[in-house]
Chain A
């Protein structure tokens, strides 16, 4: 089955700096890669996703890149703010209806003011 590795497990950045989280996956048939943000005591919230026919996607301060050949994808957060502090999870699936998501281990991001 699919295996998703996520690094780093914790990340501390100064407010205004950039944060990068990297994930690798094992199933070459995976073609859908969402990112979730989970604040303390709350549900995981989808923040951005990317499909395998796209190499990069941006939404304001957040961007995701995908390298299908190397089987890795990354989340980039620019101009970090204290409210970006949370746990971020990457995931992968084959994208068709009913296909399960496999999650990475999570990255705890702390943005220091």
Chain B
């Protein structure tokens, strides 16, 4: 499987600001995904990021709030914009390897 890293691992931010999370993979992958995991909850898909095309967002998530970039086959970013305390969560990227998904270590975001 691929080795996946995320930056930052955690951050504490003020409401109204934005944070960009980076996801780096050591191999070229076609599909990358971004998930949110609220405290004590399951994983909810935010969007699918395919290189060379616009990200596909799930119901309840919009590009203005969670813009995503996918400039190449090993890298993606997720920005959490105009943050509020409700955005406090763990954000995870995952990559598709075969038909299986493998997860990055996550970014723990706290919004004050």
A97 and B105 contacting across the interface, CB-CB below 8 Å: no
When A32-B99, A46-B102 are in contact, do A97 and B43 touch as well, CB less than 8 Å?
no
Q: Considering only CB atoms, which chain B residue lies closest to A51 in the complex?
A: B99
A25 contacts the other chain (Cβ, under 8 Å)?
Answer: no
Q: Are B106 and A97 in contact (CB under 8 A)?
A: no
Q: How large is the interface on B (under 10, 10 to 19, 20 to 34, 35 or more residues)?
A: 20 to 34
Residues of A within 8 A of B104 (CB): 43
B72 within 8 Å of A (CB atoms): no
The residue on A at minimum CB distance from B6 is A43
Q: Which residues of B contact A (CB under 8 A)?
A: 30-31, 33, 41-45, 48, 50, 58, 92, 96, 99-106
A residues neighboring B (CB under 8 Å) = 32, 34, 36, 42-46, 49, 89, 93, 95-106
A-B contact pairs, 16 of them (CB 8 A): A34-B100, A36-B103, A43-B106, A44-B43, A89-B42, A89-B43, A93-B99, A95-B99, A96-B99, A97-B96, A98-B48, A100-B45, A101-B45, A103-B44, A105-B41, A106-B42
